[in-house]
């Protein structure tokens, strides 16, 4: 620090570039606008998921275009399609490999409830294994529906209070 | 040659191994004895030019003897004709004879028949499940397996549970009534 400056001073160089906000609001703003999806395309919903990622629907308007095929780089797993029992634990293992914070979207009837497959081979909803944040109806849902679901997820993330909760947990630990 | 002539040739050559021949709308189904099934299929391939094995499937006729039936659909690209060969497999033996040596594509068809109905194929190089996971304890296409499935548990591999059918399965019945009468409904409401 130069000798003649006061510890707190008005600096015209950064005027207009400083915003006061709550930490949680800032965290949520950053998280919700750069959701990196993990595409878990298991059936025909996966085709609609691909269409969502293509130019016509322009998923990058919402900052979600960075589909990663590595769970370690992803925030939101989009379970698109029929989850068979044979695949179920593999889906869970991939989910477990994702770093926190993470969210799950059940895209379409099959991922939400087993859909039309009341069958010996099909898991009746991925929510039996993973905590699902958003369910999207449809068989398969159109890309607009998936975008709506992702926007609903953004709204949900904006209400999260991760920092406040962390502070609460710390205080209760100290007391 | 056409399928009729091929069937006739088989009928003459394997008179004692053929149980019945049925012609339904120009599709010929020949029921053959299990012991000679490889021999007959081998003759079909080598001498009658059936160069393409369309499918192998199996049927569970619960309550009848023999309980299972293995069905071979064979086709000749060379001459454009088709035959269906069936052979009975008894409940106690549950073993048919593999034709992988004739048509390599039989490998996966036979594995599927094994996976779904539990029929093994003698001489198959790799008799494993193909659709369900290794270690699944049931054969789900058997008639005595419930539609809803059964509980199974293999830690770290897979689990399964019966599904809620809620009155289902919902089936249609053929009739000329209006759409609201024809729509799929539970069997207990079908009069």
> B156 CA to chain A: closest CA distance, Å?
7
Chain B nearest-CA residue for A92? B156
Q: Which residues of B touch A114 (CB under 8 A)?
A: 163
- Using DSSP bridges, classify how beta strands B81-89 and B68-76 pair: parallel, antiparallel or unpaired: antiparallel
Indicate which of B133, B149, B163, B184 best probes the interface with A, i.e. most A CBs within 10 Å of its own CB: B163
Contact B42, B36 (CB under 8 A): no
Half-sphere exposure of B150 (CA within 13 A, CB side): 11
- C-alpha B191/C-alpha A69 separation (Å) is 53
- C-alpha A165/C-alpha B50 separation (Å) is 72
Chain A nearest-CA residue for B134? A86
B169 part of contact set with chain A, CB < 8 Å: yes
In the prediction, which pLDDT does A100 show? Answer: 87
pLDDT tens-digit series, residues B38-85: 999 999 999 999 999 999 999 999 988 899 999 999 999 999 999 999
> B58 CA to chain A: closest CA distance, Å?
19
In chain B, % of residues over pLDDT 70: 99
Query: Is residue A89 within a helix (H) or strand (E), and if so which, with residue range?
Result: helix A85-97
* pTM metric for this prediction: 0.81
B154 part of contact set with chain A, CB < 8 Å: no
Using alpha carbons only, how large is chain B's radius of gyration in Å?
Answer: 20
In the prediction, which pLDDT does B112 show? Answer: 94
Indicate which of B160, B170, B184 best probes the interface with A, i.e. most A CBs within 10 Å of its own CB: B160
- C-alpha B151/C-alpha B181 separation (Å) is 35
Indicate if the pLDDT at residue A7 is higher than 60: no
Between A23 and B189, the higher pLDDT residue: A23
DSSP chain B: --HHHHHHHHHHHTTTTEEEEEEETTEEEEEE-GGGHHHHHHHHHHTS---EEEEEEEEE-TTSSS-EEEEEEEEETTTTEEEEEEEEE-TTT-EEE--TTT-TTHHHHHHHHHHHH--EEET-S----SSSPTT----TTSTTS-TT---EEETTTEEE-PPP-TT--EE----SS-HHHHS-EEGGG--
Contact A105, A136 (CB under 8 A): yes
Indicate if the pLDDT at residue B188 is higher than 90: no
Q: Which residues of A touch B144 (CB under 8 A)?
A: none
Half-sphere exposure of B13 (CA within 13 A, CB side): 16
In the prediction, which pLDDT does A11 show? Answer: 64
pLDDT tens-digit series, residues B88-99: 999 998 999 999
Indicate if the pLDDT at residue A8 is higher than 60: no
Q: Inter-chain contact A120–B160, Cβ cutoff 8 Å? A: yes
Within 8 A by CB and 6+ apart from B46, the residues are none
- C-alpha B176/C-alpha A125 separation (Å) is 37
Q: Which residues of B touch A110 (CB under 8 A)?
A: none
- C-alpha A133/C-alpha A153 separation (Å) is 7
Q: Is the ipTM of this complex over 0.85?
A: no
Q: Which residues of A touch B168 (CB under 8 A)?
A: 118
If we measure between CA atoms, which residue out of B126, B165, B125 comes closest to residue B148?
B165
Q: 3-state DSSP helix/strand/coil percent for chain B, to nearest 5?
A: 25, 30, 50
Q: Which residues of A touch B140 (CB under 8 A)?
A: 120-121
pLDDT tens-digit series, residues B158-182: 888 888 887 778 888 777 878 777 7
- Taking residues A76-104, what's their average pLDDT? 93
Indicate if the pLDDT at residue A6 is higher than 60: no
Average pLDDT, chain A: 88
In the prediction, which pLDDT does A175 show? Answer: 85
């Amino acid at each position: 620090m130069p000798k003649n400056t006061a510890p707190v001073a008005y600096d015209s160089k950064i005027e207009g570039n400083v915003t006061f906000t709550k930490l949680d609001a800032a965290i949520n703003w950053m998280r919700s606008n750069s959701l990196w999806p993990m595409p878990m395309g298991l059936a025909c919903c996966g085709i609609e998921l691909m269409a969502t990622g293509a130019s016509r629907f322009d998923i990058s308007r919402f900052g979600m275009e960075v589909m990663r095929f590595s769970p370690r780089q992803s925030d939101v797993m989009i379970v698109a399609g029929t989850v068979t029992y044979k695949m179920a634990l593999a889906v869970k293992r991939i989910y477990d490999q994702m770093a926190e914070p993470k969210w799950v979207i059940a895209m379409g009837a099959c991922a939400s409830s087993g859909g039309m497959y009341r069958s010996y081979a099909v898991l009746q909803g991925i929510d039996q294994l993973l905590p699902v944040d958003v369910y999207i109806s449809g068989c398969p849902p159109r890309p607009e529906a998936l975008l709506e679901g992702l926007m609903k997820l953004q709204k949900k993330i904006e209400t999260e209070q991760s920092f406040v909760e962390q502070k609460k947990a710390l205080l209760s630990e100290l007391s | 040659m056409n399928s009729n002539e091929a069937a006739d040739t088989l009928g003459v050559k394997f008179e004692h191994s053929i149980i019945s021949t049925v012609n339904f709308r120009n599709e010929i189904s020949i029921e053959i004895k299990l012991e000679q099934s490889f021999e007959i299929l081998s003759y079909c391939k080598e001498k009658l030019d059936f160069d393409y094995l369309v499918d192998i499937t199996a049927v569970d006729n619960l309550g009848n003897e023999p309980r299972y039936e293995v069905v071979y659909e064979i086709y000749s690209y060379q001459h454009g004709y088709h035959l269906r060969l069936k052979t009975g497999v008894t409940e106690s033996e549950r073993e048919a004879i593999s034709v992988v040596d004739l048509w390599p594509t039989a490998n996966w068809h036979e594995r599927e028949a094994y996976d779904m109905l539990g029929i093994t194929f003698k001489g198959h190089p790799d008799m494993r499940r193909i659709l369900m996971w290794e270690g699944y304890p049931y054969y789900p296409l058997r008639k005595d397996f419930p539609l809803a499935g059964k509980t199974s548990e293999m830690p770290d591999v897979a689990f399964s549970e019966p599904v809620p059918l809620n009155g289902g399965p919902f089936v249609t019945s053929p009739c000329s009534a209006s759409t609201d009468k024809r729509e799929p409904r539970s069997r207990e409401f079908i009069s």
